[in-house]
Amino acid sequence: MRFTVIFAILIAFIAFTKANPTEEEHEEVDVISSEYFEEEFQGIQPAACVDIKCKGKCLKKYGNKYRSHYCENNWCKCRHCAEEELKNQQYSNMKTNFNVYPRQNGIAYPQIYSKFKVKSKNIDEIEKEEEEFYIQDLTEDLFDDAVDFIVEYHARGSIFHRAANTFTSEHGIQRIREMYRKVFEEKISLICLKANTNEIIGINACLIRSKYDEPHEIIDDPKFQLLLESKTYIENSFDIFEHYGVDRFMFTAGLCVHKKHRCKGVATQILKARGPLMKAIGIDVTASIFSTVGAQNAASSAGFTHHYSIMYDDFEKIFPKMDFSHAYGGSVKLSAFKL
């Protein structure tokens, strides 16, 4: 009888120790520590032991690299679950990979930077009356209309967006819209409006690039990531910071003109308007990637210097997952202008 009781107590003790490992056993198990979170999983609160439902399944599926253990009546978060949580967190944040530099307080806003007139022609090529336009800061009340405009007249027909197939899903379209809205929130973008009617004629989405910007993150959408990598490759092909001796410059995420007002010099006028805008916000240099002949000609007319150029058929060899067949024979250029 006494032997039976002792044996039962021994069995109970063994079961208890398996369910509640000692501190020494904790040290032998590959547990995610607070330090590990700080180094490898920035953005997740450093809590090593939380109640999750993997209960060792990750260990069976992925091997020793991902290990969890039982601690204080809960299963610790294994590395696989931590990585998945990080991915989900990044997805929910919908990061656009733009470092945001809001317009400084005290700088007059909005301002009109340019006014100009153009002679339009009717369908019979007969000149009509002059049309008057003006270029000013893009204001918050026009953000929604501006997003619709730049998506329709720039992104949908963009050589790079077409090559990366970013418009093949609703998720991709939504990401593009959010990207432009984030750029507009810097309050340094330009809008061209028709006098008297305030009809939107053109937009230039502008932002600030700093040599201290954080590197672009890997994002969850492979097509959008491909677009980002291809544009970054062009940006890095010529060092604007080093060449012009500046710590920051104005960059752009898109220049577009309404199709019925193209070939009137509107794009050139918008590019020229960057000059007074730059003076207003204290920026000496602006740069852009110009992907079409029309935009490149407008840049030349506005005084931009072309620093880097590559043919699309050669560029496709660098990014074989992109299809530039619709642009063969053309080239993309990185150009800049200094006050």
Q: Measured between alpha carbons, how far is 268 from 264 in angstroms, rounded to an integer?
A: 9
Cβ neighbours for 326, distance < 8 A, ≥ 6 positions apart: 159, 162, 163
Domain hosting residue 275, numbered range: 112-338
Q: pLDDT, tens digit, for every residue of 202-225?
A: 999 999 999 887 766 667 788 888
Please give the Cα distance from 56 to 92 (Å, whole number).
26
Give the mean pLDDT of 159-165.
94
Domain count, the chain: 2
Q: Is residue 103 part of a domain?
A: no
Q: Is pLDDT at 77 greater than 80 in this prediction?
A: no
**pLDDT, mean of residues 146-156:** 95
Helix (H) or strand (E) holding 335: strand 331-338
Does the global pTM surpass 0.75? no
Residue 99 covered by a domain: no
Same domain, 151 and 75: no
Looking at the domain assignment, is residue 194 inside a domain?
A: yes
Q: What CATH number does residue 209 fall under? A: 3.40.630.30
Residue 89 and residue 125 in one domain: no
Do residues 153 and 263 share a domain?
A: yes
One domain for residues 49 and 86: yes
Same structural domain for residues 327 and 203?
yes
* More confident call, 333 vs 14: 333
Round to whole Å and give the CA distance between 101 and 41: 26
In a domain, 316, yes or no: yes
Per-residue pLDDT at 106:
53
In a domain? residue 215:
yes
Q: What integer pLDDT is reported at residue 9 of this predicted model?
A: 56
Query: Do 293 and 331 fall into the same domain?
Result: yes
Q: At CA 250, angle to CA 249 and CA 251, rounded to 5?
A: 115
